[in-house]
Chain A
């Protein structure tokens, strides 16, 4: 909060003559493409003219200071903002060429395709098994209990949690440690076989060891899923992502390959942020 005040107070941190996003924000054959997205909560505009493409089977990190709109942007991608009545989204958001905000796009179906992992591990107050089985069950993805078993086991394996919990699948999910809970949440998301996984600061509530495990997992998951991760940690962005988008005050300032962004940022704001001058 303090940082935010400092940011608005200091003129050198304002965007100045912001024209448009710098760098390679657009791609050919994107999994998700967004054009001129504006989001506002009532009178307060949270995102201005965001245009960003998200590539297939790669990890894109959204970085930026608190309140810059990166979480809001993320939540537009599977319409989680729908639950907030005052939230208005305009612009074009396409998932494989389908308009995410089209009338005929069912948010339930969309969220089955674009899964989400939240900042705080939020397993259901049910058993580990039921946590993972819930998604396949409500979507009718399994025809028999044996199939559910199989989905649960493969999902837990993919999330790297199976070995740790195989003897206590009936224990409540909330009895796991924070890092395990977060991997359970990832397993739960994978169980629905989404195409895209959105992660909102998935490791911010975890210790360094649990964080390392999650990061390794994200790298593995990239083979099969498109991943969008919001993070506060620049090191994490550097470690897990192939592309990075820098958000500032509701605008996407700069987008590019992660290596390029961290070694050779073009915009002054990006440089200030990644060199730790603020944020």
Chain B
């Protein structure tokens, strides 16, 4: 056999090997893709119910006697009187007039349970905002239904929590077109609540925003400064080697350890308040710092020496060389590190549990010193709640978290492209 024949004989085997490798590669990519699609599909289908809510139309009488106010029209109605109105009773009265057949105590109780607890607050707000409604025509208002009614009506799924009597009530409402499903804006504008129909993610969303803002403000400058110092100015000795090893190790420390550290240092030692985005952001900064430092150092190291020489040769000082030439050139790489770090911080849950950001907080935070929770913790909390309506809320929150992440990354990529164009 001459050489050509030997090569020819082996060729088939070589090509087969290449084909096989390509197949493995494609299979790996496809399986990853399938899992991703499955995940997104599952979350999206579960999340859809959270974006709509069942509402019931009630006729609320506005005459003074129904409101329990003095019927003497000469008496003006002050704020105190408005605040003293029994709004819960008013909602109940409207329900009773809708269903006069419910006379037994048990039936009435079931009837009242059709409505969400939020109805009375909504009504109260309405009258406080416009006291002129009093003495006017009866108001027709769409109030939110209770979450069990919502689940039953929206998903046509009967749970043991809806009694036969209530099914009848709902059927009668339906024939009169007094029940509907509407967009659930409250999901985006409300804070957390024990009642699924009133629970929203604005609190967690803003909590995440404030926390990440603190993280970014702390970890980006500190990370870049540390990377520049270590890469450009620090003397090469055992101490810097030791620091480098430690930074690399820190990147692998479980995040809950950082939570404990934050609890010990920021809350117990420095006496910062619990559950606030400031402390959460500081803890997350500790977690993202190693990532940012390592990637920034790599980016700085990759700036070509010819550029440094050009600057030094013109008489730029070391500092001018770094800040005028090296850093702008390294910026895209630095930002890539920052993106990875911030994405990591956005999804971090465990360390925030340690510093109390897992508390039940209804109010929407207005700043870094207001008690808050964050999106992943909100998911954790709702996934743990017994009411079935929270399942949809959990899935919807995951979608919002993914959207938040996408927006954040898109911004960072735009910024990175901008810096890439600059060089």
Could you tell me if B317 and A118 are in contact, using CB atoms closer than 8 angstroms?
no
Q: Which residues of A contact B320 (CB under 8 A)?
A: 138
Interface string of A111-143 (1 = CB under 8 A from B): 110011110101111000000001100110000
The yes or no answer to B309 lying at the interface (CB within 8 A) is yes
Expressed in whole angstroms, the Cα–Cα distance for A116 and B312 within the complex equals 9
Could you tell me if B306 and A115 are in contact, using CB atoms closer than 8 angstroms?
no
The yes or no answer to B219 lying at the interface (CB within 8 A) is no
Given the interface pairs A85-B236, A125-B423, A134-B324, the reply to whether A139 lies near B315 with Cβ below 8 Å is: yes
Expressed in whole angstroms, the Cα–Cα distance for A122 and B305 within the complex equals 10
Q: Which residues of A contact B307 (CB under 8 A)?
A: 122, 124-125
Interface string of A81-96 (1 = CB under 8 A from B): 0010100000000000
Expressed in whole angstroms, the Cα–Cα distance for A152 and B328 within the complex equals 23
Task: Count CB-based A-B contacts (< 8 Å).
Answer: 64
The yes or no answer to B132 lying at the interface (CB within 8 A) is no
The yes or no answer to B329 lying at the interface (CB within 8 A) is yes
Could you tell me if A108 and B316 are in contact, using CB atoms closer than 8 angstroms?
yes
The yes or no answer to B311 lying at the interface (CB within 8 A) is yes
> In the complex, which residue of chain A has the Cβ closest to the Cβ of B423?
A125
The yes or no answer to A192 lying at the interface (CB within 8 A) is yes
Could you tell me if B312 and A80 are in contact, using CB atoms closer than 8 angstroms?
yes
Could you tell me if B315 and A118 are in contact, using CB atoms closer than 8 angstroms?
no
The yes or no answer to A243 lying at the interface (CB within 8 A) is no
Could you tell me if B310 and A124 are in contact, using CB atoms closer than 8 angstroms?
yes
> In the complex, which residue of chain A has the Cβ closest to the Cβ of B325?
A124
Partner of A116, one of B313, B317, B329, B423: B313
The yes or no answer to A185 lying at the interface (CB within 8 A) is yes
Minimum distance in angstroms from B416 CB to a CB of chain A: 15
Expressed in whole angstroms, the Cα–Cα distance for A10 and B150 within the complex equals 95
Number of B interface residues in the complex (CB < 8 A): 21
> In the complex, which residue of chain A has the Cβ closest to the Cβ of B311?
A124
Could you tell me if B317 and A108 are in contact, using CB atoms closer than 8 angstroms?
yes
Expressed in whole angstroms, the Cα–Cα distance for A78 and B309 within the complex equals 12
The yes or no answer to A188 lying at the interface (CB within 8 A) is yes
The yes or no answer to B314 lying at the interface (CB within 8 A) is yes
Expressed in whole angstroms, the Cα–Cα distance for A189 and B313 within the complex equals 8
> In the complex, which residue of chain B has the Cβ closest to the Cβ of A194?
B315
Partner of A189, one of B304, B314, B325: B314
The yes or no answer to B108 lying at the interface (CB within 8 A) is no
Partner of A125, one of B236, B308, B329: B329
Given the interface pairs A125-B422, A125-B423, the reply to whether A134 lies near B314 with Cβ below 8 Å is: yes
Could you tell me if A185 and B310 are in contact, using CB atoms closer than 8 angstroms?
yes
Could you tell me if A118 and B306 are in contact, using CB atoms closer than 8 angstroms?
yes
Could you tell me if A118 and B309 are in contact, using CB atoms closer than 8 angstroms?
yes
Residues of A in contact with B, size category: 20 to 34
Could you tell me if B314 and A188 are in contact, using CB atoms closer than 8 angstroms?
yes
Expressed in whole angstroms, the Cα–Cα distance for A123 and B314 within the complex equals 11
Interface string of B284-310 (1 = CB under 8 A from A): 000000000000000000001011111
Could you tell me if B236 and A108 are in contact, using CB atoms closer than 8 angstroms?
no
Could you tell me if B308 and A78 are in contact, using CB atoms closer than 8 angstroms?
no
Given the interface pairs A85-B236, A134-B324, the reply to whether A109 lies near B315 with Cβ below 8 Å is: yes
Minimum distance in angstroms from B124 CB to a CB of chain A: 63
Expressed in whole angstroms, the Cα–Cα distance for A83 and B316 within the complex equals 13
Could you tell me if B315 and A108 are in contact, using CB atoms closer than 8 angstroms?
yes
Expressed in whole angstroms, the Cα–Cα distance for A176 and B324 within the complex equals 21
Expressed in whole angstroms, the Cα–Cα distance for A125 and B420 within the complex equals 10
> In the complex, which residue of chain B has the Cβ closest to the Cβ of A136?
B314
> In the complex, which residue of chain A has the Cβ closest to the Cβ of B304?
A122
> In the complex, which residue of chain B has the Cβ closest to the Cβ of A116?
B313
Interface string of B11-33 (1 = CB under 8 A from A): 00000000000000000000000
Instruction: State which residues 56-74 of B face A: CB under 8 Å.
Output: none
Expressed in whole angstroms, the Cα–Cα distance for A110 and B312 within the complex equals 11
Could you tell me if A80 and B313 are in contact, using CB atoms closer than 8 angstroms?
yes
Q: Which residues of B contact A117 (CB under 8 A)?
A: 313
Expressed in whole angstroms, the Cα–Cα distance for A35 and B422 within the complex equals 46
Could you tell me if A118 and B313 are in contact, using CB atoms closer than 8 angstroms?
yes
Given the interface pairs A85-B236, A138-B320, the reply to whether A123 lies near B313 with Cβ below 8 Å is: no
Expressed in whole angstroms, the Cα–Cα distance for A80 and B316 within the complex equals 12
Minimum distance in angstroms from B180 CB to a CB of chain A: 61
Could you tell me if A138 and B315 are in contact, using CB atoms closer than 8 angstroms?
yes
Minimum distance in angstroms from A179 CB to a CB of chain B: 17
Q: Which residues of B contact A189 (CB under 8 A)?
A: 313-314
Q: Which residues of B contact A185 (CB under 8 A)?
A: 310
Could you tell me if A111 and B324 are in contact, using CB atoms closer than 8 angstroms?
no
Expressed in whole angstroms, the Cα–Cα distance for A189 and B311 within the complex equals 10
> In the complex, which residue of chain A has the Cβ closest to the Cβ of B308?
A83
Could you tell me if A138 and B316 are in contact, using CB atoms closer than 8 angstroms?
yes
Given the interface pairs A122-B306, A122-B310, A125-B329, the reply to whether A192 lies near B315 with Cβ below 8 Å is: yes
Expressed in whole angstroms, the Cα–Cα distance for A78 and B306 within the complex equals 16
Taking A85-B236, A111-B314, A112-B315 as given, write out 4 further A-B residue pairs in contact, using a Cβ cutoff of 8 Å, ordered by the A residue number. Answer: A116-B309, A116-B313, A122-B306, A138-B324
Interface residues in chain B, defined as those with a beta carbon under 8 Å from any beta carbon in chain A: 236, 304, 306-317, 320, 324-325, 328-329, 422-423
Interface residues in chain A, defined as those with a beta carbon under 8 Å from any beta carbon in chain B: 78, 80, 83, 85, 108-112, 115-118, 120, 122-125, 134-135, 138-139, 185, 188-189, 192
7 sampled A-B residue pairs with Cβ under 8 A: A109-B315, A115-B313, A122-B304, A122-B309, A123-B310, A124-B311, A125-B423
